[in-house]
């Protein structure tokens, strides 16, 4: 009976080391399979990247053809022109605006227009009252933002005035 017990003990100890070995072996197999899987995935991505690179090259070659370049150049010019038009200011309207609102008894000596809507006028008016009326006319313009009369100087029979007008929407 004692002999049998020893046999059982020995057999279970042998099995234990076998099980441990099998587990280690399966883990190794599992790790190897995982590595192979990763390697295959890596290769798949390499192939995919090659395909995408080729597509990118084809598109770049197409964009770099002379016809495409010419079309792109014209497009960029049109964009620039439209940008320039957005900030463009027409001074020709100022002429008609000032002409329309100038007092009939006032004569301009100097006239300066700047593209930010500033107008500097030096002119002659018969009397100070006429100057005041001229100023009032400019002030009443819808387009005027600010109007100032800088000076009125007597010059013989007439008066020399200096005026500043700031037009809005410029």
Residues near another protein (CB under 8 A): 10, 13-14, 17-18, 20-21, 24-25, 27-28, 31-32, 34-35, 38-39, 41-42, 45-46, 48-49, 52-53, 55-56, 59-60, 62-63, 67-68, 70-72, 74-78, 80-81, 83-84, 88-92, 95, 107-115
By beta-carbon proximity to another protein, the closer residue of 89 and 140 is 89
Cβ distance to another protein smaller for residue 78 or 136: 78
50: DSSP letter:
H
Structure tokens at 35: 């590595």
The DSSP code for 124 is E
Nearer to another protein, 34 or 146 (CB): 34
DSSP string, 121-147: EEEEESSHHHHHHHHHHHHH-TTEEEE
Query: Min. distance of Cβ 100 from another protein in angstroms?
Result: 13
User: For residues 48 and 140, which CB has a smaller minimum distance to another protein in the complex?
Assistant: 48
Q: Least distance to another protein from the beta carbon of 141, Å?
A: 19
**Three-class secondary structure of residue 98 per DSSP:** helix
The distance in angstroms from the start CA to the end CA of the chain is 116
CA distance 54 to 60: 10
Tokens representing residue 1 in the block: 């009976």
CB of 13 to another protein, least distance (A): 8
Q: Give me the helix-helix angle, 66-86 and 2-63, nearest 10°.
A: 70
CB of 155 to another protein, least distance (A): 14
């Amino acid at each position: 009976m004692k002999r049998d017990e020893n046999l059982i003990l020995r057999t279970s100890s042998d099995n234990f080391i076998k099980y441990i070995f099998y587990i280690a072996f399966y883990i190794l197999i599992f790790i190897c399979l995982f590595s192979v899987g990763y390697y295959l995935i890596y290769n798949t991505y390499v192939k995919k990247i090659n395909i995408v690179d080729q597509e990118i090259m084809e598109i770049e070659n197409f964009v770099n053809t002379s016809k495409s370049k010419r079309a792109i150049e014209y497009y960029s010019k049109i964009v620039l022109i439209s940008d320039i038009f957005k900030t463009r200011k027409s001074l020709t309207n100022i002429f008609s605006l000032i002409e329309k609102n100038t007092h009939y008894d006032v004569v301009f000596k100097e006239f300066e227009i700047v593209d930010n809507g500033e107008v500097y006028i030096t002119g002659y008016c018969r009397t100070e009252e006429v100057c005041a009326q001229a100023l009032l006319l400019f002030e009443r313009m819808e387009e005027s933002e600010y109007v100032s009369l800088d000076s009125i100087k007597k010059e013989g029979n007439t008066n020399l005035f200096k005026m500043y007008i700031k037009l809005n929407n410029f």
